[in-house]
Structure 1
């Protein structure tokens, strides 16, 4: 029974991550497919450049909320053993599994033919529940990079590197360290086209409007 519940949590996390908030914002606000504009991503940064600050901030919040909710479901189950009994040793691993599933779901949404965003905001939402101090350090790394460069992608990569380092330095549980390594590398890989543009000096800065 506990294995079935754990599997259900992970599947639910994937479908939660798959909710295409940026895509829906484009359809509802302007009747467009956000994937045809700018970076072709459904993430908050492309929404900001295409639809404006309010839409970008809303999608950022909702994407982070997806990550938070996926982990809060697991925490809720463990807080109520009268609903279902889960082995104590499973907790951190189930948190890790749900975290990876919601992050993957955001970038590979089943509702968009396995397209999506780059998982930065959803990863931050996950970290706020999994390891708040790591989340704070990640946000500070992102904020420092964005203040210096005005390049969102470079700042996101800086945050991903910070996650990997902070998970180890702050001696988080092994499943959390593994999540930090896997998610951090995944976010960096998702930004490979941005890295090419950064090296070429053509990556747009914050405030640049998206082009179709």
Structure 2
């Protein structure tokens, strides 16, 4: 119980570290909570500061989900504790204690958690995050909407977890993460439906908002 509690609390605190805000401060960029879409995430950082800042933010947010899962694996915890650890990291990103509980939408951190999950498929270990990431990249590349890529790839994640034969509690974890992620994208859904959603570009600029 002590190990489980320590993992969950540490995962939440790690998730609460906002890569977007820290990267923008270090690179002399505006606070992402006050520019563009006002979302402290990699897509908004892309619009504010360009590809380099966005890539660092994406990597940092992914690590927040991946590291706690890898530590949990090394400690040999069961599926239930693994699920709570992943969910804690994800919720930390959405509601960070260090930044007034005003966080991002969770795509990169969810992918980090998913890369920390895996199953033996076709004789070798496959991270759950790999197919999810490939779906996201394909949709984003073709349609140029980061939010739409998330709204297509993440609802498929529970199905992928199930197909890989992982325990039901981990499927449940992914269902909760997917539900929260869709809820966080509710403004994007409205803008997609009304044609006001900004497309992905590699150039910074306040006019390109989601």
TM-score under structure 1 length normalisation? 0.89
Instruction: Write the mapping of 1:61-210 to structure 2, written as runs, cut at 5 A.
Output: 61-78=59-76, 91-131=78-118, 132-207=126-201, 209-210=205-206
For 2:2, what is the secondary structure of its paired residue?
Answer: helix
CA contact (8 A) 2:30 2:48 kept: no
Cross-structure match for 2:123? none
Residue 31 of structure 1 deviates from its aligned partner by 5.0
Unpaired runs of 5+ residues, structure 1, are 79-89
Corresponding position of 1:27: 25
Deviation at 1:206, TM superposition (A): 0.6
- Alignment RMSD (CA, Å): 1.5
**Large movers: runs of 4+ above 6 Å:** none
Moved more, 139-148 or 187-196: 139-148
Distance in structure 2 (CA, Å) of the matches to 1:134 and 1:71 = 12
Contact preservation (8 Å) 2:29, 2:49: no
Give deviations 1:145-177, integer Å, cap 9, x for gaps: 112210000001111111022122333211210
Q: Compute the displacement of 1:133 (Å).
A: 4.0
Q: What is the DSSP-based 3-state SS (H/G/I as helix, E as strand, rest coil) of the residue aligned with 1:36? A: coil
Aligned length: 199
Corresponding residue of 1:86: none
Distance in 2 (CA, whole Å) between partners of 1:36 and 1:199 is 24
User: Relative to structure 1, is the Cα distance of residues 31 and 150 closer, same or farther in structure 2, using a 3 angstrom cutoff?
Assistant: closer
Q: Partners of 2:17 and 2:32 in 1: how far apart? A: 14
Give the whole-Å Cα distance in 2 for the aligned partners of 1:102 and 1:181: 15
Write the distance in 1 (CA, Å) between the matches of 2:30 and 2:48.
Answer: 10
Please say if residues 23 and 56 of structure 2, whose CA atoms lie closer than 8 Å, have aligned partners that are also in contact.
no
Q: Larger deviation: 153-162 or 132-141?
A: 132-141
Partner residue, 1:81: none
Tell me what 1:82 maps to.
none
Deviation at 1:107, TM superposition (A): 1.2
More helix by share: 1
Partners of 1:77 and 1:165 in 2: how far apart?
Answer: 27
Gaps of 5+ in 2: 119-125
